[in-house]
Chains A and B, each alone.
Chain A
Amino acid sequence: MSSPVSASPARLSDVCKHYGAVVALDGVDLHVQGGELLALLGPNGAGKSTAIALCLGLVEPDRGQVRLFGQSPRLLSVRRRVGVMLQTAGIPDTLEVGELLAQTRSYYADPLGIDECVQRAGLEGLLNRRYGKLSGGQQRRVQFALAICGRPQLLFLDEPTVGLDVQARASLWQTIRALVAEGCAVVLTTHYLEEAEALADRVVVLAQGRIAASGSVTQIRARVSQRRIRCVSGLPTDTIATWPEVRSVCRDGEHVEIVTGAAEVVVRQLLFEDADLSELEVQRAGLSEAFLEITREAA
């Protein structure tokens, strides 16, 4: 057995998990290294939350093995090295922020000072406020403070910036970057591609319980770079479908919708072929569509 010091913060080996007939995870291998930020992306129901629940010892895998620092996540001594922010926290409304922080700090051997928690999570002036009286963004920051207050070596952040305004999101990103720089490993799940782009060293895309893609942000970006072109044009869809770089095309009334990996090439041809073309729009495909695209490729 490798020593806990050198063992990697988190390792899932060939993990399967079913809920009744629903397959949540189906043979997933995941390896998180120290000082690395791994972004776990995927549409709803892809298995992100299940993967995190397994890592936290909340559920047991049907098959395979989950190890944090080389040991079972059920051990208290292992979880004292871990911080966690779940999607729903259910924190009691009647407790004050300072009380919540004191309570969570008491679970850890060597927690951060209150002042440092406040400063890192941006909780200035909120310590004596009741949790239920805070705004959604402030509540999210309290949850983040609870996640980092134990000086974790491994941090799980499940959709951490949902409900935050742009400024709060940026300052949270900065704190997360600082933690990673200090050597903390972070597993982040998010719906926002830009969040993964801003933070992640490595991205893993889950779809239907399997790893559909994995690599650096640049590698993943290249795979989800498809664009949607929409315009009013009389060109027949059959013709457009034969052009290079066109992945799919469909007609919606007088509008034509084209999905492509190289919007510039297709737009040039569209303008060349149809002088009357109007209402031209080019959009990056939605992230969930891109994930579906990746899954289809993977299947």
Chain B
Amino acid sequence: MNTIALNPPRFSPLRCYALEARHEFLRLARTPMFCVPTLVFPAVFYLLFAVMLNHGTAGSGGTVPGIYMLATFGVYGVMTPGLFGFGVSVALDRERGWLTLKRALPMPAGAYLGAKLLMAMLFAAAIFAILGLLGTLCGGVRLSALAWLRLLLTEVFGVLPFCAIGLFLGARVSAQAAPAVANLIYLPMAFFAGLWVPLAALPAFLQTIAPVWPPYHLAQLALRAVDQPATGSTLGHVAVLAAITAVFFMAARGRLARAAAGSS
């Protein structure tokens, strides 16, 4: 049928997606306000809490602080690219018209969100690498290759629910308010989910409601990945995180489509 042109020019979706992801990454990497806190804060907190304040003593219930906090601060770290990288940048793109232009251009439908997801996963991998290095060098952490791999996968895929929450936020909140709102969600959620202070050290009431917070579930998965004591079933935590991802993603989509149309 299509033999009129010998070498018909072809659209290459792969190249398009790759460029989109690369530029999304460059955009954030060139924004010190985003990448410095994202990469430095988890590292600083880990050094402070796990290395300087704990001298290799075993914690309660068979936990090893260096390893325990490697998991929980890792989870704290991967919340950032999702909530801030996704949330704030979507709010900005929506408000300034970049999203509208991209929808008008023949950009493949999934490229915009796909690129942002890939960017968030890349940042998660970077946070994993930084914390892993600090844990090994300063925290005396020794893990099997399999445990490292499990932690990496948990953190890289663990960004997804936070990307969905960030997307939802970016679809609704103005660009100016987005960082503040993201912080309002981020900091309390990290604390109540037991990322900074082990849950066992929190009041009983907070321990009871901890499963309400999405990072709690990811933290349990991360702890299990590095063979630390964790509660609940792996499948249960994965299901909750998947459900959060789906719900927020779907809720954000409709809103974004309307925003791109310029009618909101």
- The interface of chain A, by Cβ under 8 A from chain B, is 19, 49, 53, 56-59, 76, 79-80, 82, 84, 86, 88-92, 94-95, 99-100, 102-104, 106-110, 130, 146, 150, 156
Shortest distance between the CB of A88 and any CB in chain B (Å):
4
B11 contacts chain A at the CB level, 8 A cutoff: yes
User: In the bound complex, do residue A58 and residue B108 qualify as a contact, i.e. CB atoms below 8 Å apart?
Assistant: no
Which of these, A19, A84, A88, A102, contacts B105 with CB under 8 Å? A84
When A89-B98, A108-B11 are in contact, do A84 and B26 touch as well, CB less than 8 Å? no
Q: Which of B158-215 contact A (CB under 8 A)?
A: none
**Cα(A109)–Cα(B11), bound, Å:** 4
B23 contacts chain A at the CB level, 8 A cutoff: yes
**Cα(A178)–Cα(B250), bound, Å:** 45
**Smallest Cβ-Cβ distance to A53: which chain B residue:** B262
User: In the bound complex, do residue A106 and residue B100 qualify as a contact, i.e. CB atoms below 8 Å apart?
Assistant: no
User: In the bound complex, do residue A76 and residue B261 qualify as a contact, i.e. CB atoms below 8 Å apart?
Assistant: no
When A56-B104, A59-B261 are in contact, do A90 and B10 touch as well, CB less than 8 Å? no
Which of these, B8, B20, B96, contacts A90 with CB under 8 Å? B96
Set of chain B residues within 8 Å of A110, measured between Cβ atoms: 9
* Contact bitstring B231-264, A, C-beta under 8 A = 1, else 0: 0000000000000000000000000000011110
How big is chain B's contact interface, by range? 20 to 34
User: In the bound complex, do residue A99 and residue B106 qualify as a contact, i.e. CB atoms below 8 Å apart?
Assistant: no
User: In the bound complex, do residue B106 and residue A90 qualify as a contact, i.e. CB atoms below 8 Å apart?
Assistant: no
**Cα(A84)–Cα(B30), bound, Å:** 27
Set of chain A residues within 8 Å of B97, measured between Cβ atoms: 86, 88-90
**Cα(A256)–Cα(B105), bound, Å:** 52
When A53-B261, A58-B100, A89-B97 are in contact, do A80 and B19 touch as well, CB less than 8 Å? no
Shortest distance between the CB of A122 and any CB in chain B (Å):
20
Shortest distance between the CB of A149 and any CB in chain B (Å):
10
Question: Other CB < 8 Å A-B pairs besides A88-B97, A90-B99, A90-B100, 12 of them?
Answer: A56-B103, A58-B104, A58-B262, A59-B261, A59-B263, A92-B93, A94-B27, A95-B27, A103-B20, A107-B11, A107-B107, A109-B10
When A95-B27, A109-B10 are in contact, do A58 and B260 touch as well, CB less than 8 Å? yes
User: In the bound complex, do residue A90 and residue B12 qualify as a contact, i.e. CB atoms below 8 Å apart?
Assistant: no
Instruction: Classify the secondary structure of A's interface with B.
Output: loop
Set of chain A residues within 8 Å of B98, measured between Cβ atoms: 89-92
CB < 8 Å A-B pair total: 89
Set of chain A residues within 8 Å of B30, measured between Cβ atoms: 94, 130
User: In the bound complex, do residue A76 and residue B106 qualify as a contact, i.e. CB atoms below 8 Å apart?
Assistant: yes
Set of chain B residues within 8 Å of A109, measured between Cβ atoms: 8-11
Which of these, B31, B99, B108, contacts A94 with CB under 8 Å? B31
Set of chain A residues within 8 Å of B19, measured between Cβ atoms: 102-103, 106
- The interface of chain B, by Cβ under 8 A from chain A, is 8-12, 15-16, 19-20, 23, 26-27, 30-31, 92-93, 95-101, 103-109, 260-263
**Cα(A128)–Cα(B9), bound, Å:** 28
User: In the bound complex, do residue B11 and residue A80 qualify as a contact, i.e. CB atoms below 8 Å apart?
Assistant: yes
Which of these, A76, A82, A86, contacts B101 with CB under 8 Å? A86
**Smallest Cβ-Cβ distance to B98: which chain A residue:** A90
**Smallest Cβ-Cβ distance to A152: which chain B residue:** B106
User: In the bound complex, do residue A150 and residue B106 qualify as a contact, i.e. CB atoms below 8 Å apart?
Assistant: yes
Set of chain A residues within 8 Å of B23, measured between Cβ atoms: 95, 99-100, 103
Which residue of A90, A91, A110 has the most chain B CB atoms within 10 A of its CB atom?
A: A90
Shortest distance between the CB of A21 and any CB in chain B (Å):
13
Set of chain B residues within 8 Å of A90, measured between Cβ atoms: 92-93, 95-101
Set of chain A residues within 8 Å of B27, measured between Cβ atoms: 92, 94-95
Shortest distance between the CB of A214 and any CB in chain B (Å):
25
Shortest distance between the CB of B55 and any CB in chain A (Å):
43
**Smallest Cβ-Cβ distance to B8: which chain A residue:** A109
**Smallest Cβ-Cβ distance to B104: which chain A residue:** A56
Which of these, B20, B31, B92, B104, contacts A84 with CB under 8 Å? B104
| 24 examples of A-B residue contacts, CB within 8 angstroms | A53-B262, A56-B103, A58-B262, A59-B263, A79-B105, A80-B11, A84-B105, A86-B101, A88-B96, A89-B101, A90-B97, A90-B100, A91-B98, A92-B27, A95-B26, A103-B23, A106-B12, A106-B15, A107-B106, A107-B108, A108-B106, A109-B9, A109-B10, A156-B104
Shortest distance between the CB of B73 and any CB in chain A (Å):
28
**Cα(A53)–Cα(B263), bound, Å:** 10
Which residue of B96, B104, B108 has the most chain A CB atoms within 10 A of its CB atom?
A: B104
Shortest distance between the CB of A51 and any CB in chain B (Å):
13
Shortest distance between the CB of A158 and any CB in chain B (Å):
10
Set of chain B residues within 8 Å of A108, measured between Cβ atoms: 11, 106
Set of chain B residues within 8 Å of A80, measured between Cβ atoms: 11, 106
Set of chain B residues within 8 Å of A86, measured between Cβ atoms: 97, 100-101, 104
**Cα(A156)–Cα(B106), bound, Å:** 13
